[in-house]
Amino acid sequence: MGIWRVSTVERVVERDLPGGAIAAIDVVTTRSAWRRRRVQGALIVEGGRETGHRAPIVATARGASIRAVMRKLAPMLRNDSVIAWALSRSAR
């Protein structure tokens, strides 16, 4: 990685689910000398202790700020149907 590009990863929010599972939004912020700051977020669901599986990334979003990314992903984090779907995918 050159000095012109710096990325940081941050878990912005986490939601505890039954069975020890969690749903979370992770954000990667990339700064470059020649470009504006870029922010990309991912909604992930990690299965409970009994499954030991990690669900795929449920959704991604890009924006100019963490707030813009959160506006796109937070409604899905609060949606129980989306979380149940992701957990069912991780059990396969």
Residue with more model confidence, 47 or 13: 13
1: pLDDT strictly greater than 50 = no
Residue 21 pLDDT: 85
Contacts (Cβ under 8 Å, ≥6 apart) of 7? 1, 28, 29, 30, 31
4: pLDDT strictly greater than 60 = no
Residue 48 pLDDT class (50, 70, 90 cuts): low
Secondary structure class of 74 (helix, strand, coil): helix
> How far is 42 from 59, CA to CA, in rounded Å?
6
Residue with more model confidence, 83 or 6: 83
Residue with more model confidence, 9 or 69: 69
